[in-house]
Structure formats: structure tokens, C-alpha cells
Structure 1
């Protein structure tokens, strides 16, 4: 591992430079196949995938990594963040801009420098961290530039993970399994959601990990909240409990899980969870190379339809994951999706169902597509836990 800035604790890229070279080579091939002259990568997850830098400094203007076939990538970043980008990425060519209004002219000048002022340039138009004003600003300086939507380009490459990435997902799952076991062992009458969350954070700290931001952890009536954050709400007898959380290792890969529990008995939760398990297991059973993402989603929906309770399922069956939890624009297991599964793809499959009273329960798995089907990464069962 190498960085431009030395002797900074916990800095540097988490993988060998050769791994980033492999990723860049595959993205470059995809750029050429798409007929693009260059690609501006702006989503945080895709920036981290290609450079090592987490990208979070780009909170008021983009930090595009400009990928041009035949050249080393160029990072256009805010001047304030240059030292962090140098320390946490392997990119050598870093071009700074000072203020938000400087972004568009500086980025346009970089493109012009490489003769791309009239080129066909790919932008991640459907991802976070790129506003219409950013694209319009660059185009105002380069009126002959052709803007192309390259939202899925990096996603389609990063969907197929290398052996190093699969190992990273295993390490992430080992931490998330600690989250699940601590969640389950903490459930008792009177315990508050925030107390359980604190227990989880302590166990992750001991294991060398951290808790992924914005955890979902709710009890009782608060299970009606689809992404409810922990509160001072206490668990009562026969209450349901649900979590969607993940432990995060230093390299930043995330393997989140959904797990549900009941303190005592709760027929409504038990019935719905049984259906969630059946739908999840059937969807996993159809996974194999060549199957489309839409066919996996259809498998889950067929179970829900046969149950006679179609309104309990209100979302997609799963999505590509890895660096961070997910990125907008990544592959999705949803109706009519046409991407074909390949060996090495990794998906989070949260089967979350809504009861007739509005409560949510369910379960999930993280799966890796293999030659023969799907490998489940978690060692904690997705069955309903009785506390």
C-alpha cells in the first residue's frame, strides 16, 4: 500500500494497488464498450471502489474521478480535502478547486486539457452527489460536449466481486453476526431500544469494528416505522422487535442483515414472518448464473401472491451491495429487471413485510452467486427469534 502522505495512522488504501488497477481496467473496458470518451465518477461508493477514498468530503460539490481510456485517472477535489484524498487514495493526479463556484470551470478545464471539450462524456446522472446544476455548469463551459447517462457503468463492473472483495464481505458479515447475536441476547422486558444499540456498539468495538450509520432497531408499535432509529422506547411482553443493521470493518465493506424477534408470543408477527421466510428462501433457491435479476424478484412475489396477502410486500427483493450499504443506480432485484446474474455478484435480500395493522417484520440474507447457485454468508439463522 502507498499513499502520498506518510506516517498518518489508519490512512492508506485498504487493498493492494493491483486490486485498484484491476477495477480500473474493467471500468475502462466498459467505458470503451459504451462508446464514451471519458467518465466522471461522482457517487461516494463508486469513488471508494475505484480510488480508496471514501468521498465524503464532497458534501457541497462533486469530487469527480475522471477516467479516460489510455490515461491515469484524474481526481478533481475541493482544496480543503486534498491532503485526505492524498492519504486515502492511490490517485497521483489531483486537481484542486477552492469554492463551490469554482468546480465547473476547473472540471471543464481538465476535460479541455485532454481534448475532450467536444467529447462524449459519461455522467452518473442517476446517482447521489451529482446535481443538475453541476452538469449544466460544466456544459456551460463546454457547449460542444455530449452528456451521456452512465449511471450503471461502474455499478455493473463492481457488481462482480473479486476474491479480495468476497473475503471483505465475509469479514463484514462476521461483525454483523455479532450485531445479531447481541441484539437477540439483549432482549428482555423493559430494555430500551437505545440500550440494545449501545450493547451492540460495545461488542463491535471489542471485535475491531463499528456500527453502520443510521441503524434500524425498533420494538412494539414502533415496528410500524420502516427505518426507525433507536429511541427510549422499552420492550414489553409479547412485543415484536426488528433490526436492520451492520457491523463495518476498517475497509468499509458492509453486509447488513434484517432479523426479527418476539418477547413471548405474537401471532401477527409469527404468521407474517413465516411468509417472509418462505419468500426469501424460494427467491434464494432460484439464484444461479444466467438468471435475471427480475426473475429472482418474481420468485419472491410468487410466494406472496399464493399466500393471498399481496399488499404485505411493498418493495424490491434485493440489491447489489458491498462498499457502503448501497448506491443509487446499483443492480436491483426488482420487477422487470433484466441484468443477468454472474458468479461473484453479491446481493442483500431483505424480505420485509407489512401486516394489516401496519407493523413490519421479516428477515434477510446476504448472498454471493456461485457456479451452482447462491452462498449465504451469515451464520445466524433468519428464523424468528423468541426471547
Structure 2
């Protein structure tokens, strides 16, 4: 079943005849057009049409899997008006701007209906082709990390480590998926501690979270590494997080709820008296966006299915001391799971 086939079922369930898609990742998922920020897709029972402007004439012809209409607003809306006249047309309430909605109302004789998550729900399960693209992005990131790891040592700035990772990704043909996190020493207590000019010192832990974006698809991985010999307390925290991470990964399989995986990891950290130091959810889906469904957070009812790609990333953060996060990228398979991130996890 194609993404469009699955979407039409979701549209029927939502009670809409057509859908105006404006979120860039969803535009790409439905059409194949890689500049989704400058495109829209109209999905109707008869088919789908990509709307973009003349800057992308050649690119859209090469990439798009659906018919392309080259025009700028308001011509875009006028062309689509005939296709949606008298229909209930859904729009992406979490992305379409107020100005964009007003433009649709001005040009369309249609009932406009806010929708949430229709395309995203179809995108939860990746196609084999999407899995391969994510696999390639993660393999590239693993290679880059292996090149940079020997340079993570005392006397080096966090920014220097981040720069090496970013340059490595770009030299390998990828984009930097998100702001690189390099958090050393006490800054390790910041879950989103993007690289600073702090100099790494001997005996510290350094948390590194980065990912590649390759052909539009993301990878995501975190490793916490030791510089010199960390204190007994830091080693205790590290090993507790490692235990929680490996147990949660081993529990990944179809039919498991995201909230149950979170609870499993959280209970292990509770036993190590680190439950309150686990300040975020266990993980999230990865694909065309770095953060997408399913959610592996406390109470999540999202059920894992084969073809989903998720992160498993417990952490513990101690203000004034430091922190640890360990994250793997995991594919849900028919029989359980496959870890896509191959970088070894250090044993302290």
C-alpha cells in the first residue's frame, strides 16, 4: 500500500473529501519533491497534485511521483479551486498559517476543515525504501563518529568536537540533521546542551548527540564517552543508564506500547535512585523529521508496528555533577528489533 492509499483511508475516517498538505515533510512524503517548504500537495479521490513555482520546474519534473502544476499564488489557489468546489477539504491545522487559510477561503468554494496528524499517522510505518535511507544515514553517522572519537580528549573545546562532526557529515555527503550536542563535565546535566566553548577536562564524561540527514531522512544517536578516568559516582550513573537503555532496546517488538517501554527504563533508573534525574521521554520516531511518531513517553498509547523506526534514549542529569544519555536508533521488525546505530557503547 502506498502512502497515498493509506492517506485516503485516513481522510475517509476524518470525513474529508480532499486534503491540502502544507507541511514540508508531508509534501515530500506524498510527492517525492525534496523542496517541500516551497510546495503544496492537494489530495483528492481522483489523485494528487504537487503545486510549486517556476524555480523548481526542472527539479519537480525529476523528483515528483505525482502530476505537477507550476504556478505562484493566487494562480495556485485558482487552479485547485475547480478540483475542490463543493467539497469538505481538510487542511493541516498545525502547519497552515492564518494567512494561508484566509487565502484558501478567499479563492475556494469549499468547506475547510482543520485536521491533525492525518499524513503523520500514515508515515509512522516506514516503507522498505525509507528504512534503507534511514539505515544509510545512520551508517554514515557511525563512520563519522568513529573518525572523531579519538579527538575527544582533555584540552579540546566542545565546539571543536561539534565542528569535526559537522564537517565529517558534510564531507561524506550528508547534511547536519540538527544542532550538535556536546556537553562535557557539569554541562552534561543539560539534556540539550549544544556545544559551547568549554574546554573538556580529564576525568569527565562527554555526551554527544548528533545525526545525519541524507536524502531527506534522518539518523539520531547519542553516546556518552569518558575522557580519562571518571569518578566512581559518574561511572555508577553511566552504568545505570546503560542498563536501562539496553533493557528497553531488548523489549522493543511489535505490539508493545511506547509508554510501557518508557516505564521499563524508568523503573530501572528508579532502582538506582536516578528516577528523578530522568528528565525526558524515552524516545521518539525518526524519519523525514528528526522528531515524529510514535512517542515513547510516559503514558503513551502508541503501539509499535513492524517498519517503525524509533530512538531509545534514557538519561540521567545531575546538576553540578554531570549527566549521561545513551541513545540507539532501532527498527521494529516482524520478530522484534534491529539496532541501526552500530557505534559501540563504552563500558566503564
Tell me which interval the TM-score lies in, with the shorter structure as reference length: 0.7 to 0.9
**Deviation of 1:32 (Å):** 2.8
Distance 2:277 2:98 in 1: 36
**Deviation of 1:107 (Å):** 5.4
Q: How does 1:233-312 map to 2 (within 5 A)?
A: 233-249=198-214, 251-264=215-228, 265-312=230-277
Q: Judge conservation of contact 1:240–1:260 (CA < 8 Å) in 2.
A: yes
Distance 2:278 2:99 in 1: 36
**Which residue of the partner structure matches residue 105 of structure 2?**
139
Distance 2:231 2:93 in 1: 45
Greater mean deviation of Cα atoms: 330-339 or 82-91: 82-91
**Deviation of 1:40 (Å):** 2.0
Q: How does 1:92-241 map to 2 (within 5 A)?
A: 92-97=67-72, 102=73, 106=75, 108-114=77-83, 116-126=84-94, 129-142=95-108, 145-149=111-115, 151-205=116-170, 207-241=172-206
From 289, 298, 316, the equivalent of 1:353 is 316
Q: Cα distance 1:203–1:112, how it changes in 2: closer, same or farther (>3 A)?
A: closer
TM-score with structure 1 setting the length = 0.79
Q: Cα distance 1:273–1:134, how it changes in 2: closer, same or farther (>3 A)?
A: farther
Q: Judge conservation of contact 1:217–1:243 (CA < 8 Å) in 2.
A: yes
How many equivalent residue pairs? 347
Distance 2:202 2:320 in 1: 18
Residue aligned with 2:15, SS: coil
From 310, 315, 325, the equivalent of 2:280 is 315
Q: Which runs of 5+ in 1 are unaligned?
A: 1-20
Q: C-alpha offsets along residues 324-349 of structure 1, whole Å, 9 cap, x if unaligned? A: 4234xx32112222232111111122
**Deviation of 1:230 (Å):** 2.9
**Which residue of the partner structure matches residue 10 of structure 1?**
none
TM-score with structure 2 setting the length = 0.88
**Which residue of the partner structure matches residue 333 of structure 2?**
370
Greater strand content: 2
Q: Judge conservation of contact 1:175–1:246 (CA < 8 Å) in 2.
A: no
**Deviation of 1:366 (Å):** 0.8
**Which residue of the partner structure matches residue 75 of structure 1?**
50
Distance 2:123 2:76 in 1: 25
Residue aligned with 1:323, SS: coil
**Deviation of 1:365 (Å):** 0.8
Distance 1:237 1:366 in 2: 29
Q: Cα distance 1:259–1:25, how it changes in 2: closer, same or farther (>3 A)?
A: same
Provide runs of 4+ in structure 1 moved above 6 Å: none
CA RMSD in angstroms, aligned pairs only:
2.7
